[in-house]
């Protein structure tokens, strides 16, 4: 019986954490990414990103490039999660 109770509580506790990460991802995206380009690059018909691995690689390129994107690995993950949930849906 205790096991079933734990299973019901754990998903409820995870929702705020996911929502907080998504909110942080959006904040970082808006602060770091929108200074170089708009969101239209994510939705254009000829977009270059077609998988989650390509999305991760692109965010990595933005961090390493002259774009002056400064993200920790955890922050990059939050941005990737935000972009995937909001635009890409991989």
Domain boundaries, the chain: 2-88
Summarised one tens digit per residue, pLDDT across range 45-78 is 999 999 999 999 999 998 988 667 889 999 999 9
In whole angstroms, what is the distance from residue 75 CA to residue 59 CA?
11
Q: Is the dihedral angle over the CA atoms 46, 49, 51, 52 positive or is it negative?
A: negative
Q: Say if residue 1's pLDDT is above 80.
A: no
Summarised one tens digit per residue, pLDDT across range 8-49 is 444 444 445 556 656 899 999 999 899 889 999 999 999 999
Top-confidence residue, 86 or 18: 86
User: Which of 64, 57, 60 lies closest to 90, judged by CA?
Assistant: 57
pTM higher than 0.85 for the full model?
no
Give whole-number Cα distances, 75 to 2, 12, 51, 88, in Å.
36, 23, 20, 18
Top-confidence residue, 18 or 79: 79
């Amino acid at each position: 019986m205790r096991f079933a109770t734990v299973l019901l509580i754990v998903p409820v506790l995870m929702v705020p954490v996911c929502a907080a990460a998504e909110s942080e991802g959006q904040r970082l995206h808006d602060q770091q990414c929108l200074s170089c380009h708009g969101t239209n690059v994510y939705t254009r018909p000829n977009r270059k990103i077609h998988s989650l691995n390509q999305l991760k690689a692109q965010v990595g390129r933005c961090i390493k490039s002259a774009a002056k994107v400064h993200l920790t690995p955890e922050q990059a993950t939050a941005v990737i999660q935000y972009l995937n949930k909001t635009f890409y849906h991989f």
